[in-house]
Amino acid sequence: MAVLNKIRQRSLVLILVIALALFSFVIGDLFKNSDALTGGSQDVVATVNGKDINRLEFQQKVKNYQDRVGGSQTSTQSMNTIYNQELRKLVLETEIEELGLSVEKDEMRDLLKNSFSSYPEFQDANGNFDVNRLNAFIANLKDLNGDTAPLGDFLVNYDSWTNNEQTIATSAIQQTYFNMIKAGVGTSIIEAEQEYLGDAQTVDIRYVQIPYTTISDSLVTVSNSDVKDYIKKHKDTYEVDASREVVYVEFKEEASKADEDKIKADLLALKSDKTEYNENSKNNETIKGFDSATDIEEFVNFNSDINYNDSFLRPAQLPAVAKDTLLKLNVGDYYGPYKDGGYYKLSKVVETKQMPDSVKVRHILIPHVGGQRADASITKTPEEAKKTADSIFAEIQGGTKFMDLLELSSDKVSNEKDGEIEFDYRAGMAPEFKAYAFDNNEGDMAVVQTTFGYHIIEILEQKSFNKAIKLATLADKIEPSDQTLQDIFNKMSKFEIAAKDGDFNALASENGLTVKPITFKELDENIPGIGSQREVVRWSFEDETEEGDLKNFPISNFGYIIAQVVEKKEKGLMSVEDASITALPEIRKEKKAKMITEKITATTVADIAKNQGQSPRSAAAITINNTTLSGAGVEPKVVGAAFGLAEGGTSKPIQGEKGVYVVEVTKINEATKLDNYTAIINRLNSERKAAVQSKVFPALEDAAEIEDNRAKTVY
């Protein structure tokens, strides 16, 4: 009792302590993420030239886009698509606002006319666009207060209409902007002349090449400071985004051998009858097995992960792993259990039959409203279409010729061939149509319903008969047992605990696991073989995640991975170690060029070649537009230097791609100037204007002020 009294006396103190602890936790988290206090960048996906992309609006656009594309893109891909659209819009908006471009009311009406003139809702009795109908439609949408109205195959409301208008206007303004730039693109006569001379004027040269390979790499010392200097001189090449090098191991939730053995045993046990005690009747009851089941379809559907298929299968339609054996079986024979895809299967031959591989039929199609490919001219209900098809069928049975009734069919393509269609069993026909054609006999005729409507089908010919079999197959999906799942989880947990204080790679080797490396950029999402895993990327870029940290991630339909951050690289210039892969060969080349140049004392190609132990070479009719040098390969600096020399002139040593060169021009072959360069000017104008639209936006994007917060807000 005394203890309880003391607790009561101190309860206020305890409450205050807890409250302060909670307060400090919340405040600490706020300061750790200061945007939570200011309402700042957490609500802004990006800022482009001072304009924000709002997070909520952005997410709504992403959702709308995902609804349109279905499941064809991941959420990250959808976000990237919308981000690029918004970025393009804002970057161009800055330029367009500065120029004062806009779409006026009359121009907007013309744009809407171009976009919607084919819609019946906006046409008069003669099929011409009627602006009054357009105005009435828009006014009606406004009066609906958010409700939708049909337009073509879509339902639209006032908001979606105004958004669409804005999109049309924006596209028009952007095109006007691009057209203005194109109008300023042209080619001068001098440029056209240079283009012509680039192919028409040639020079003949003699040259000597002293290859870089004449100096061993071991004689060239490259220090870290050399690499650093090279990186600074070539910043554009060695500028890199922030990245994280991660290694990971996989713990796949896969069935063990014991699991697979049990699955096979369970399938085999289904063959025989078994006795089970019934709690309700208090009696033992016999449960029929595969051997004695009378309703095969019901038995398969109850005991199998794949429903019964009541179809005859040709060789090409049978499981590849079992095809040859299954075709040799007699009715009642079994094969299996065998592995096919992600299942173990036990198959029993129910029936065999000789079936055609191809058929020729003729048909009359009576479509109905709501049927596949039914256009606005189709007015019959399904019941009316069925009644019409039955009536036609009765007429044919009564003696009317099939051909005389073809005009009633809506299949105009087959009507041109007397209503006939010839196809094989692999053709993409309506399943019911195909089934009737192959499962019945020549001369048979019936009314068959498909998604297109009602068909009167007559089988004219069946060819290429081969054995087909009907199978009853019990399929059991290969999945890990609960015990196996627990074992995998335990293995993963033990590895994670041990790896926190141990060597990740050594532990992986001890456990028979493969360490897989991967490098992430901040907006990446995919891990090869696993798919989209943004959680892993996001974790690796968190400020709290340090090099050496590791974490386990559950992967849907896969299992787990344990990832460890090996190296954090921030945005900026590449490290000396990473840059050395490409920088070292270039630095060595520069140093070798200097060493070779210092050894050249002669002044003529012949003397230099003799002194350096090389043979002089010749190249005839080289052009400035073709930088390939006969006997040396692509050498733009060498070719360019040759065109800067007078006839008989000799160059200074030139640092080329494969060595140091000295060039002597033996002859300049002047080109005859053209009287008129109009054709070349027109060609260059056309090429340059065509390239404008693809080059303008990247240039504007480079010049824009962009603050990208995607990784912290929506990714």
What's the CA dihedral at 685, 689, 690, 694 to 10 degrees? Answer: 140
Helices assigned H by DSSP within 443-501: 482-501
Confirm whether 202-235+576-669 and 296-477 share one CATH topology.
yes
Across residues 683-699, what is the average pLDDT? 90
Q: Who contacts 157 (Cβ-Cβ below 8 Å, separation ≥6)? A: 141, 144, 146, 147, 148, 149
What pLDDT sits at residue 5?
44
Share of the chain above pLDDT 90, in %: 63
368-393 pLDDT, tens digit each? 988 888 877 788 899 999 999 999 99
Please tell me what DSSP assigns to residue 129: B
Mean pLDDT value across the chain? 89
pLDDT-derived band of residue 41, with 50, 70 and 90 as boundaries?
A: low
Q: Is 447 exposed, middle or buried (0-12, 13-18, 19+ CB in 10 A)?
A: middle
Give me the residue label for tokens 């009054």: 132
66 or 660, which is more confident? 660
Q: Decide: helix, strand or coil at residue 451.
A: coil
pLDDT-derived band of residue 155, with 50, 70 and 90 as boundaries?
A: confident
DSSP H helix total and E strand total for the chain: 25, 27
What pLDDT sits at residue 192?
94
475-499 pLDDT, tens digit each? 999 999 999 999 999 999 999 999 9
pLDDT for residue 694 is more than 50: yes
Q: Who contacts 225 (Cβ-Cβ below 8 Å, separation ≥6)? A: none
pLDDT for residue 159 is more than 70: yes
Across residues 252-266, what is the average pLDDT? 96
What pLDDT sits at residue 33?
44
pLDDT-derived band of residue 12, with 50, 70 and 90 as boundaries?
A: very low
Compute the distance between CA of residue 216 and CA of residue 591 in angstroms, rounded to an integer.
12
CATH architecture of 202-235+576-669: Roll (3.10)
DSSP E strand boundaries for 295-366:
312-313, 334-340, 343-366
What pLDDT sits at residue 507?
96
- Domain extent listing, the chain: 2-32, 41-100+184-201+673-715, 105-166, 202-235+576-669, 243-254+480-570, 257-282, 296-477
pLDDT for residue 25 is more than 90: no
pLDDT-derived band of residue 14, with 50, 70 and 90 as boundaries?
A: very low
pLDDT for residue 4 is more than 60: no
Rounded to a whole number, what is the distance in angstroms from the first to the last CA of the chain? 56
pLDDT for residue 8 is more than 70: no
What pLDDT sits at residue 145?
87
* Contact in structure between 73 and 66 (CB atoms under 8 Å): yes
Q: Which two tokens stand for residue 246?
A: 């991660």
What pLDDT sits at residue 10?
44
pLDDT for residue 623 is more than 80: yes
Give the range with max mean pLDDT: 71-75, 141-145, 673-677, 693-697: 673-677
Compute the distance between CA of residue 496 and CA of residue 553 in angstroms, rounded to an integer.
11
What pLDDT sits at residue 17?
40
300-343 pLDDT, tens digit each? 999 999 999 988 998 888 999 999 999 999 999 999 999 999 99
What pLDDT sits at residue 426?
83
Sign of the alpha-carbon torsion through 146, 150, 152, 154: positive
426 or 360, which is more confident? 360
pLDDT-derived band of residue 110, with 50, 70 and 90 as boundaries?
A: confident
pLDDT-derived band of residue 2, with 50, 70 and 90 as boundaries?
A: very low
- The CATH code of domain 243-254+480-570 reads 3.10.50.40
628 or 280, which is more confident? 628
pLDDT for residue 424 is more than 70: yes
What pLDDT sits at residue 20?
45
* Contact in structure between 574 and 238 (CB atoms under 8 Å): yes
The torsion angles phi and psi of 547, rounded to 5 degrees, stand at: -60, 135
Compute the distance between CA of residue 106 and CA of residue 60 in angstroms, rounded to an integer.
31
457-477 pLDDT, tens digit each? 999 999 999 899 999 999 999
Q: In the CATH hierarchy, which top-level class contains the domain 296-477?
A: alpha beta
